[in-house]
């Protein structure tokens, strides 16, 4: 995820405010001209009611901090941008978009604890906030709090039915030794249409990152589940299936070696 710039929001705030002020002046009623006295045959037309400006007023402080944020982003000073975000949030405490940007800032800068805390503030307001759930899940995972990470990913998956989220869940379930759940997640992924198009990045034989079909990683996961449960025969078949698709998938080669009988 890349940090979202509030440039658009900044200029929207400023432009909207300026537009609102101009609109207000434009919509002000002109001085009414004298109207002839009404007779039974004719009636004077009543002036149409003036529609009052309903656009929210943006405080001068908010405009100042928004410009500060935009300038800091333009000049690549993200610490100042973070400070401006705090100022904006204090001035606009109900603006979830600002709080989300702060959570994203912390997550991208590997400040996982702060990312989780800020995301949880958003989730307390709206448990179905997809962006906050994703940041919370990634933050918990980075902190090694795997059960909380899994809970966040599970909530995210229930709302989106996203296979990439289920993929992350399956590996967390394996790491937590919840083998039955992990295998079930793997089977759902393998049965999905997306399995033929999605990719996963792993280190190749040349020690450089390489993209492999997600099917390769999921079959390897099933092999690891079988291996952990003592089924070396089943694990061997799965690792061989992986290598038939991707002969340079190093992890499967290493795992396959674990299925061989121990030499005396």
The pLDDT tens digits of the residues spanning 82-123 come to 999 999 999 999 999 999 999 999 999 999 999 999 999 999
What integer pLDDT is reported at residue 204 of this predicted model?
A: 78
What's the rounded Cα separation, in Å, for the pair 219 and 124?
Answer: 37
- The tokens for 207 are 């020690």
Residues 6+ apart with CB under 8 A from 116: 135, 136, 139, 140, 143
What integer pLDDT is reported at residue 17 of this predicted model?
A: 37
Give the mean pLDDT of 8-26.
Answer: 40
Question: Is the C-alpha dihedral spanning 177, 181, 185, 188 positive or negative?
Answer: positive
Using only C-alpha atoms, what is the Rg of the chain? 29
Distance of CA 19 to the CA centre of its chain: 32
Give the mean pLDDT of 212-235.
Answer: 97
91, 154, 100: which is closest to 126 by C-alpha?
100
Is the pLDDT higher at 201 or at 51?
201
Give the pLDDT confidence of 65-88 residue by residue, as tens digits: 999 999 999 999 999 999 999 999
Is the pLDDT higher at 157 or at 54?
157
What integer pLDDT is reported at residue 131 of this predicted model?
A: 97
What integer pLDDT is reported at residue 208 of this predicted model?
A: 86
Question: Does pTM top 0.85 for this prediction?
Answer: no
What integer pLDDT is reported at residue 29 of this predicted model?
A: 39
- The tokens for 85 are 């975000």
Is the pLDDT higher at 164 or at 46?
164
Give the pLDDT confidence of 152-187 residue by residue, as tens digits: 999 999 999 999 999 999 999 999 999 999 999 999
Please give the torsion angle defined by the CA atoms of residues 119, 124, 125 and 128, in that order, rounded to the nearest 10 degrees: 70
Residue 209 backbone phi and psi in degrees, to 5: -60, 140
Q: What is the mean pLDDT of the chain?
A: 84
Question: Is the C-alpha dihedral spanning 151, 5, 108, 59 positive or negative?
Answer: negative
- The tokens for 161 are 């039915």
The bridge status of strand 209-213 relative to strand 199-203 is: antiparallel
Residue 35 pLDDT grade (very low, low, confident, very high; cuts 50, 70, 90): very low
What integer pLDDT is reported at residue 58 of this predicted model?
A: 83
What integer pLDDT is reported at residue 203 of this predicted model?
A: 84
45: helix, strand or coil: coil
What integer pLDDT is reported at residue 25 of this predicted model?
A: 41
Are 122 and 103 contacting, i.e. CB atoms less than 8 angstroms apart?
yes
Residue 263 pLDDT grade (very low, low, confident, very high; cuts 50, 70, 90): low
Domains contained in the chain, CATH given: 179-264 (1.25.40)
- The tokens for 156 are 């995210």
202: helix, strand or coil: strand
200: helix, strand or coil: strand
């Amino acid at each position: 995820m890349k940090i979202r710039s509030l440039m658009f929001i900044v200029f929207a705030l400023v432009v909207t405010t300026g537009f609102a002020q101009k609109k207000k002046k434009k919509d002000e009623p002109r001085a009414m001209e004298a109207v002839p006295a009404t007779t039974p045959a004719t009636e004077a037309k009543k002036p149409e009611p003036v529609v009052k400006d309903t656009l929210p007023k943006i405080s001068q402080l908010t405009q100042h901090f928004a410009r500060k944020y935009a300038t800091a982003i333009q000049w690549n000073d993200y610490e100042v941008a973070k400070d401006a975000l705090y100022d904006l949030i204090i001035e606009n405490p109900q603006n979830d978009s600002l709080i989300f940007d702060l959570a994203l800032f912390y997550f991208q800068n590997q400040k996982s604890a702060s990312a989780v805390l800020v995301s949880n503030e958003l989730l307390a307001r709206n448990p179905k906030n997809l962006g906050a759930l994703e940041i919370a899940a990634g933050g918990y995972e980075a902190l090694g709090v795997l059960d909380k990470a899994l809970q966040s990913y599970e909530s995210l998956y229930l709302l989106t039915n996203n296979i990439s989220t289920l993929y992350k869940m399956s590996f967390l379930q394996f790491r937590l030794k919840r083998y039955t759940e992990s295998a079930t997640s793997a089977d759902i992924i393998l049965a999905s249409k997306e399995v033929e198009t999605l990719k996963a990045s792993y280190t190749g034989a040349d020690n450089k990152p390489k993209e492999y079909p997600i099917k390769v990683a999921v079959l390897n996961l099933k092999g690891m589940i079988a291996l952990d449960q003592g089924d070396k025969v089943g694990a061997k078949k799965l690792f061989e299936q992986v290598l038939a698709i991707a002969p340079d998938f190093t992890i499967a080669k290493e795992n396959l070696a674990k299925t061989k009988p121990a030499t005396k």
